[in-house]
A = this chain, B = another copy of it.
Amino acid sequence: MINIAILGFGVVGSGVAEILETNAGRIAKSAGEGVRLKYIVDIRDFPGSRFSGLFTRDFSAVERDPDVSVVVETVGGVGAALDFTRRCLAAGKNVVTSNKELVASHGYELIKQAKERNVNYFFEASVGGGIPILRPITQCLAANEISEIFGILNGTTNFVLTSMIKQGQSLGFALRQARENGYAEADPSDDIDGHDACRKICILAALCFGRHVYPQYVATEGIGRVELEDAEYAGRIGCTIKLLGRAFLAPGGKVAAYVAPHLISQDRLLAGVDGVMNGIVVRGNAIGEVLFYGAGAGKLPTASAIAADIIDCAKHAGARKRIEWEDGSAGDIYETGQLESRWYIRTPASRDKLAGAFGRGELTIISAPNSSRTAFATPAMSARSLSAHMEGIPMLSNFRIME
């Protein structure tokens, strides 16, 4: 029998308790033994909860209990969660989490600490909710040299963009709808501004390329500048607009990582990943491209990924799995301003002015009825080169195009 504790009884934490109960038989069969929830640590009261006998406010009860071998950290953030995680690992307990902020900022340190104590620090639920992605990268694609990973990593912004594009809603209206449906927090700025996607691409980059990529080195742009008009222009050149996190191996062995809205070709399967769903593409030298798709958030999908990690801890008690990466620094990061791509631009400037800036015949003009603006697609060039061409010309939108 494996005894576990859950730290933080919010949406995900309570989902874990629910799944351990609902799918107890299946979980015991997979783990090779039963999984028993012994403590739930939370400072709040949950009167009437059917888990009422398990609640405690005293984290140290978990820390001191030698029977508890796996601790689920669903506290979130980097305050108490970091302290609790360090203390659990120091006490020789496996830790399983969905806390992407903590993994993105302290993953290197915590994995190292886990290794020293011969326990596991697992975080499948931190990226893509319930979509299996970390394990497939480290195990199933283990014979591939991975060159690139990119995808739709945030369900809230994908819901908003899908509503804008498919139903012609404004960003503000779509966001209100997302909130009403429980797809967005009261303060959605972490999603809208791209920070959530940034943390996830940091974790994915570290797993694929073996070096910690810290969020502060990742150029991050959210969907705040995307307007309805952009969706219309994008459709006219066979594209849709998606917020992508992307990381790849750049020249010189550096890692490039960034988050930004992209126009992507409707011919790509990723363009069909709509609503709150997530989709992640991995490119390897043997496999080519593989895509993983599913619910990127939500109580039960995320809890199901945590439960899979608990099972893995049970099966590998005393036998660590080889998930680790080196520390990273600013010097390892490729500056994405150098990265070339075609660009989509919307501007109030005249076509003549643009022809002057880029050379006649160089641009693909995108026409839309009922618009006095000009939108166009450039040939492939770096962000720097684009800025140089557009000097003195205002840009209302400028997004990379992924063909």
Contacts and interface: CB of A to CB of B under 8 A. Distances in A.
Contact of A124 (B140, B269, B291, B295): B140
Contacts of A291: 291-294
A131 B290 contact: yes
Contacts of A286: 19, 22-23, 130, 300-301, 303-304, 307
A142 B300 contact: no
A66 interface: no
A321 to B, nearest CB: 8
A311 B144 CA distance: 12
Chain A contact-residue range equals 35 or more
A384 interface: no
Contacts of A322: 30, 32, 315
Contacts of A26: 142-145
Contacts of A273: 269
B130 A290 contact: yes
Contacts of A255: none
A197 to B, nearest CB: 20
Total copies of this chain within the assembly: 2
Nearest to A16: B143
Contacts of A31: 142
Given A22-B285, A23-B285, A307 B143 contact: yes
Interface string A119-153: 00000100000111001101111111100000000
A326 to B, nearest CB: 12
Contact of A288 (B285, B290, B295): B295
A130 B22 contact: no
A312 B142 CA distance: 9
Contacts of A27: 142-143
Contacts of A22: 285-286
A130 B294 CA distance: 19
Contact of A136 (B135, B145, B295, B303): B135
A368 interface: no
A379 interface: no
8 shortest A-B CB distances, which residue pairs?
Answer: A132-B140, A143-B307, A286-B304, A290-B294, A30-B142, A291-B293, A132-B136, A130-B287
Interface of A: 19, 22-23, 26-27, 30-32, 124, 130-132, 135-136, 138-145, 269, 272-273, 284-295, 298, 300-301, 303-305, 307-308, 310-312, 315, 319, 322
21 contacts: A23-B144, A23-B145, A26-B145, A30-B138, A31-B142, A130-B286, A130-B287, A131-B287, A141-B304, A141-B308, A143-B307, A143-B308, A269-B293, A286-B301, A286-B303, A287-B300, A287-B301, A287-B304, A288-B295, A289-B294, A315-B322
Given A30-B138, A287-B301, A288-B298, 14 more contacts: A19-B143, A19-B286, A26-B142, A30-B322, A136-B140, A141-B304, A143-B307, A144-B304, A269-B269, A269-B273, A284-B304, A286-B304, A287-B294, A288-B301
